[in-house]
Amino acid sequence: MVEQTHDWRRYVAIGDSLTEGLADPNPDGSPRGWADRFAQHLADAAGEPVEYANLAIRGRLLGPIVAEQLEPALALKPDLVSLWGGGNDILRPRAEVDVITDEIEQAVIRLRASGADVLIGTGIDAKDSPVLELTRSRTGIYNANIWSIARRHGAYVIDVWGMRCLKDWQLWHDDRLHFNSIGHERVSQAALVAVGLPARPDWDEPLPPLPAKSRREWLEWQLTWAREHAGPWIGRRIRRTSSGAGRTAKLPDYVSVPPQATQTAQ
């Protein structure tokens, strides 16, 4: 990989729970996530503060992401925007993947016309996931379209489909739908790789394996997941309610993210 230099000082993230940072809490309990971490890495790489806004809201389908977040993002006049959405749509059996990616492409066109660079993401390889595996074929089509959109419009792509480390449940929250803090940090490193900035050498290396579960431990693990996570998730789908109902963007305006060295000195 050839390292690149960029002059990004205004970064806006739009999307759903992945970009909001669910399951990666700050010390005060608020969500952090890969985009917050990526903003910090950008500031560290530049050696200067980066202005950062995060408009993402958990549970959002792609249509509402574009309808609610695209214009506010453009109004901030960013020089880099990450747009990552469609995963909640793909979970639905009747999802029309080509329609979803067409909407992503139109948003990318708008953002590129504004002069901003754009970072988009693939879907995750859901093999062996008890919930997401049913979406694997739809996600494959989604990913092929994402790479074509990037080629046509000069966008960057975070290739989480190809990340070996994400095959490990140690990088996932107990709900098996969201990354934990380790997973979010690895994705932030993948974002650095996507834009040609230096990443940790071990950014995609698997973690040391945990001891194998006994059959009893495995059954308890599955039952706990079904009771505490799968059941409530299915209930929301039946009731057609969203985990993000009534929520607003966590960072609707820019905050200044200084380099870590500057923070330490303070």
Q: pLDDT digits over 79-90, tens only?
A: 999 999 999 999
Q: Name the average pLDDT for the chain.
A: 90
Find where tokens 């380099």 sit.
259
Q: pLDDT digits over 197-229, tens only?
A: 999 999 999 999 988 989 887 788 777 766 775
Helix (H/G/I), strand (E/B), else coil: 110: helix
Find where tokens 């996932």 sit.
172
Confidence of residue 264 (pLDDT cuts 50, 70, 90): very low
Token pair, residue 187, equals 């994705």
Confidence of residue 177 (pLDDT cuts 50, 70, 90): confident
Say what the pTM is.
Answer: 0.91
Asked if 85 contacts 104 with a C-beta cutoff of 8 angstroms, the reply is yes
Asked if 188 contacts 38 with a C-beta cutoff of 8 angstroms, the reply is yes
In a domain, residue 129? The reply is: yes
pLDDT score, position 34: 98
pLDDT exceeds cutoff 70 at 115: yes
d(CA 80, CA 1): 21
Asked if 174 contacts 232 with a C-beta cutoff of 8 angstroms, the reply is no
d(CA 110, CA 99): 17
Span 94-121, average pLDDT:
98
In a domain, residue 233? The reply is: yes
Find where tokens 């834009």 sit.
195
pLDDT score, position 266: 29
Q: What is the CATH number of the domain that holds 99?
A: 3.40.50.1110
Give the domain extent around 28: 10-260
Asked if 144 contacts 157 with a C-beta cutoff of 8 angstroms, the reply is no
Which is higher by pLDDT, 253 or 229? 253
In a domain, residue 242? The reply is: yes
Helix (H/G/I), strand (E/B), else coil: 211: coil
d(CA 129, CA 108): 30
Q: pLDDT digits over 126-165, tens only?
A: 887 766 788 999 999 999 999 999 999 999 999 999 999 9
pLDDT exceeds cutoff 70 at 252: yes
pLDDT score, position 248: 95
DSSP for 82-94 reads: EEE--HHHHTSTT
Q: What is the number of domains present in the chain?
A: 1
pLDDT score, position 127: 84
Strand order in the sheet with 251-257: 156-158, 117-121, 80-84, 10-15, 50-54, 251-257
In a domain, residue 110? The reply is: yes
Asked if 6 contacts 221 with a C-beta cutoff of 8 angstroms, the reply is no
Token pair, residue 260, equals 């870590």
Q: What are phi and psi of 103, to 5 degrees?
A: -70, -40
Backbone Cα Rg of the chain? 18
In a domain, residue 70? The reply is: yes
Lowest mean pLDDT among 26-35, 60-69, 148-157, 235-244: 235-244
Strands (E), the chain: 10-15, 50-54, 80-84, 117-121, 156-158, 251-257
In a domain, residue 171? The reply is: yes
In a domain, residue 112? The reply is: yes
d(CA 62, CA 97): 11
